[in-house]
Amino acid sequence: MSSRYVEIPEFKHPIKFRTLLNDGLTVVYPHFHKEIEIIYAVHGSVRIGVNNERVDLLEGEMIFFASGESHYFLASPDSERLVYQFDLQLFDEAILRENEKTLMQLFETGEPHSRNWPETLTEKTRELLLALYTYDQNRPTGANYLIMAKLYQMIGNFYKELPKRALLTENHDFSTIQYKDTLERLNQVFEYIETSYQETITIEDIAKVVGFSPYYFTRFFKKNTGQTFGKFLSEYRVNQAKFILANENIPMAEVAEKAGFSSVKTFHHVFKDAVGQSPLQYQKTFNLN
């Protein structure tokens, strides 16, 4: 379990928050990401690897992973877990934070396992997580406001009641040092793509962003994400196209341009290869559903 890759969560809605329900047969290999992740064991015991240590999350318990903290899931028969992921950029710390530690520090220094929390914090967090899952899955009117309200409440509770993490283990400290720089560099890449995906992006262009040679960048990106930069960029543009097709009724040439493809022909070929159907078929299927 030595390989660790950056996970790039796909958020379906404007706010960078999502929930998932995974069963115990869903094995997840070692990975890390900039988003905070919270796991709630709703049924059975969930076996988790955190850095190089194993944790058995019992039914009703919760655990979170700080930004850049390596984790993975082992087979956990007869169990179910709720997964929550959210980006700390959702919170405007320049306005909200007074004398508190930063949100990054809150999660890095706070006790991650609910087994070691005060009972009051455990109960409140469990209720908030269940409400968050319901809002995200059912999408009632005002869903984003309701979700943000619960997230703010949870963060406030953590500031007030979350115990300090036990002394950092050697493994945790190693993980923080090793992955922080990688995460920061990859984040530069992702932010550049978010703002420039509609333009032509070469390996030389993106390598300059992080101060690497094209050759070193190519190896760096593949090692830490498990895929080539070209494949990642292509998938990102396909996902942009999916969003456009689902929400806008515009000519395919315009969809291709807005998603960053050089031509309609290229767009059609890449989209069909990735999705299994043409952009037009996807749009019709989506509208029918």
Mean pLDDT, all residues of the chain: 88
Choice between 101 and 7, residue whose per-residue pLDDT is larger? 101
Q: In the prediction, which pLDDT does 178 show?
A: 55
Listed by start position, the domains of the chain span: 5-161, 203-289
Closest CA to 42 of 57, 27, 25: 57
CATH number, domain 203-289, options 1.10.10.60, 3.40.50.1860, 1.20.120.420, 3.40.50.1820: 1.10.10.60
What is d(CA 60, CA 45) in angstroms, rounded to the nearest whole number? 9
Q: In the prediction, which pLDDT does 69 show?
A: 84
5-161 topology per CATH = Jelly Rolls (2.60.120)
How large is the average pLDDT for residues 194-220?
A: 93
State yes or no: pLDDT of 63 exceeds 60.
yes
Q: How confident is the model at residue 287 (pLDDT cuts 50, 70, 90)?
A: low
Closest CA to 255 of 237, 233, 272: 237
Contact criterion met (CB below 8 Å) for 266 and 230: no
Q: In the prediction, which pLDDT does 3 show?
A: 45
Least confident of 42-56, 169-183, 213-227, 262-276: 169-183
How large is the average pLDDT for residues 243-249?
A: 85
State yes or no: pLDDT of 169 exceeds 80.
no
pTM (two decimals): 0.71
What is d(CA 57, CA 35) in angstroms, rounded to the nearest whole number? 20
Q: Tell me the per-residue pLDDT of 102-155, one tens digit each, with 9 for 90 and over.
A: 999 999 999 999 999 999 999 999 999 999 999 999 999 999 999 999 999 999
State yes or no: pLDDT of 289 exceeds 90.
no
Q: In the prediction, which pLDDT does 7 show?
A: 79
